[in-house]
């Protein structure tokens, strides 16, 4: 075990201990507001009150309802038999493990599996996990007890697998828990993995069929009445909503919903995403995946800052991927590192008079679009960088460790 690995392991260990101390020692450390909703809300599965349940204990200005499909309640249901403190600590530690899995697979997709046998790259994976714990998407995931790191890991496992039934099952089941992972189907289409895409759709509809057999009224209510109702999820214009709809609404002073302005913005984003995808080198699996997932975050009605876990694989791709030597790669990576380390949407939360107020002063509107602007710049840069002679497939499985560990 070399010195760099020991330092990385110590950094990760201290990060985990700091988070545990936060949870166990501070008065409001055991917040986990979303985890409370998962656990207590799912206990109502089959009662007819799943979607009438709300928890206002931590958010009196917005009582939180259970907003996920009934299949999610079925998955979370066993948790309510355990003491909440046990669930919370277990959830925290599992989130760290899932984050490590996200970093590890991201590096695998960039470098190949053989590279991760080298001590340098294993050290890199541990070090980036420690760094990732302090970036806003993960910090707020810990605070709220959110599920997003697990969903990102599942999507990455699906991409990593070469078996269509494994990949399709993972994505279909993840979409059954929370609809947003369904965008991974676009990755399967982009990679011409038709069986994976078809099977993921079958599995997703299977989750609906399963919950319909268990609790037909709640399943029917979710998919016929509640699906697409962003008002149940939260205030669209809050600074922590980093979707196109959130950013445009703050600029214009009213909720743009899915009207003409939003549609034009989605069309522009889609064109840039396609241009970026076409600029990738052949078999750039992670590049394709992050382009698809960022598009999903942009077009979703609400993409809270803790949904943006995908920025960690984006940063890794920029630093180690096939475009790493193109001018601007480090600048784009640095932009994401800086904004997520600061936690710009979180900071802006202290300056908004109310989470329900749509209009923002100009500077707050521009800062509130930090992720939206970042994605548009990222797409445009990738599309431009694809023409550079510096772009080439990554093959470093036998390359000596000569880059500084982050």
Residue 243 near residue 183 (C-beta atoms within 8 A)? no
Q: Please state whether the predicted TM-score (pTM) of the whole model is above 0.85.
A: yes
pLDDT tier for residue 392 given thresholds of 50, 70 and 90: low
| pLDDT score at 1 | 60
- pLDDT score, position 190: 94
CA dist., res. 237 & res. 241, Å (int): 7
- Pairwise CA distance, residues 381 & 154, whole Å: 28
Q: Which residue has the tokens 């959130």?
A: 246
At CA 36, angle to CA 30 and CA 39, rounded to 5?
130
Rounded to the nearest 10 degrees, the angle between the axes of helix 370-385 and helix 285-299 is 150
- What are the pLDDT digits (tens) for 250-301? 999 999 999 999 999 999 999 999 999 999 998 899 999 999 999 999 999 9
How do residues 137-171 score in pLDDT, each as one tens digit?
Answer: 999 999 999 999 999 999 999 999 999 999 999 99
- Show me where the domains of the chain are located: 3-385
For 103-143, how does the pLDDT look when each residue is reduced to its tens digit (9 = 90+)? Answer: 999 999 999 989 998 999 999 999 999 999 999 999 999 99
- Tens digits of residue pLDDT in 212-254: 999 999 999 999 999 878 778 888 989 999 999 999 999 999 9
pLDDT in the model for residue 345: 92
């Amino acid at each position: 075990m070399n010195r760099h690995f020991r330092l990385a392991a110590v950094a990760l260990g201290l990060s985990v201990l700091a988070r545990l101390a936060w949870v166990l020692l501070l008065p409001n450390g055991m917040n986990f507001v979303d985890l409370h909703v998962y656990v207590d809300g799912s206990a109502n599965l089959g009662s007819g009150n799943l979607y009438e349940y709300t928890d206002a204990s931590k958010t009196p200005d917005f009582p939180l309802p259970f907003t996920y499909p009934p299949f999610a309640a079925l998955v979370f249901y066993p948790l309510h038999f355990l003491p909440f403190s046990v669930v919370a600590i277990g959830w925290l530690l599992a989130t760290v493990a899932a984050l490590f899995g996200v970093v590890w697979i991201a590096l695998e997709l960039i470098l190949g599996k053989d590279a991760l046998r080298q001590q340098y790259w294993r050290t890199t994976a541990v070090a980036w996990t420690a760094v990732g714990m302090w970036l806003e998407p993960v910090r707020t995931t810990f605070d709220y007890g959110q599920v997003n790191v697990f969903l990102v890991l599942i999507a990455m496992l699906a991409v990593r697998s070469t078996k269509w039934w494994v990949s399709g099952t993972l994505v279909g089941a993840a979409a059954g828990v929370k609809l947003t992972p369904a965008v991974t189907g676009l990755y399967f289409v982009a990679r011409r993995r038709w069986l994976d895409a078809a099977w993921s759709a079958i599995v997703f509809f299977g989750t609906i069929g399963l919950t319909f057999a268990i609790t037909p009224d709640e399943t029917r209510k979710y998919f016929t009445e509640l699906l697409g109702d962003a008002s149940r999820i939260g205030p669209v214009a809050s600074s922590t909503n980093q979707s196109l709809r959130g950013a445009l609404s703050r600029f214009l002073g009213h909720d743009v919903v899915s009207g003409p302005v939003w549609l034009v913005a989605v069309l522009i984003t889609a064109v840039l995403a396609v241009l970026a995808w076409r600029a990738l080198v052949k078999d750039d699996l992670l590049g394709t995946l992050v382009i698809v997932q960022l598009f999903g975050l942009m077009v979703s009605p609400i993409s809270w800052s803790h949904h943006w876990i995908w920025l960690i694989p984006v940063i890794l791709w920029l630093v180690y991927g096939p475009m790493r030597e193109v001018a601007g790669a480090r600048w784009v990576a640095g932009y994401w590192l800086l904004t997520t380390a600061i936690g710009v949407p979180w900071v802006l939360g202290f300056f908004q008079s109310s989470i329900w107020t749509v209009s923002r002063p100009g500077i707050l509107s521009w800062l509130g679009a930090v992720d939206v602007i970042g994605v548009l710049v990222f797409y445009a840069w990738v599309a431009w960088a694809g023409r550079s002679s510096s772009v080439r497939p990554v093959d470093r499985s036998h390359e000596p460790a000569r880059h500084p560990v982050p």
